[in-house]
Chain A
């Protein structure tokens, strides 16, 4: 465990807590893409299958349970909570995310570390996580200015993967045979997807204005 990875896990945790706070405090999920949340739930379930077979550390197990629990709670809230579900604007959340699931699964069938059930699903979850934010970014573009908590959520989500890239560089330099190429390349793609969002976020922060995304 290194500081970059720990910082990455913490910003990831913060992003999920910010989202839960927003939904719980405002009893509203406007501006949030249910499709992105469903993709993240799939990512965590597919990746943490080893939860009960490989014990790595208490921290690892606890964080996996928290991530799976929170992502399923958010999807449950947005789909079934009698108050929150009414604030979900499905006519703007129209990204066809099932194509992302299919595409990532096909890619995982061809590019993986080992051709085993767990490894293929692990690679699938890595690819899917890289693109899971797309429905949310499309929704942000469509809805123009959005409320701060949603913007903070996307910002922390992008920062977490950026920290992980530093973690992979650090581990590559310090561990002899560290070759985590699938995760590193997918992580770079994921962070690149946030790049334009980060640019507009920084501009709005510098001008102390509300985030304006080009339509």
Chain B
């Protein structure tokens, strides 16, 4: 999955 800089975790 594209790891965005912001909070990419649930």
Which residues of chain A have a CB within 8 Å of any CB of chain B?
1, 5, 9, 12, 47, 50, 54, 56-57, 59-60, 63-64, 67, 122, 164, 167, 180, 183
Contact = CB atoms under 8 A, between A and B. Distances in A.
Contacts of B2: 56-57
Contact of A54 (B1, B4, B9, B10): B4
- Which label, helix, strand, loop or mixed, suits the secondary structure of the A interface? helix
A41 to B, nearest CB: 15
B6 A50 contact: yes
A56 B2 CA distance: 7
Given A1-B1, A56-B6, 7 more contacts: A5-B9, A9-B10, A54-B6, A56-B8, A60-B1, A60-B10, A167-B9
A59 B1 contact: yes
Nearest to B6: A54
A164 B10 CA distance: 10
Closest 3 CB pairs of A and B: A57-B1, A1-B1, A56-B4
Contacts of A54: 4, 6
A56 B7 CA distance: 9
A64 to B, nearest CB: 7
A183 B9 contact: yes
A60 B6 CA distance: 13
Contacts of A64: 10
Given A1-B1, A57-B1, A60-B1, A67 B6 contact: no
A67 B1 CA distance: 19
Contact of B1 (A50, A56, A183): A56
A2 to B, nearest CB: 10
Given A56-B1, A56-B2, A57-B2, A122 B10 contact: no
B6 to A, nearest CB: 5
Contacts of B10: 9, 12, 60, 63-64, 67
A67 B2 CA distance: 21
Nearest to B1: A57
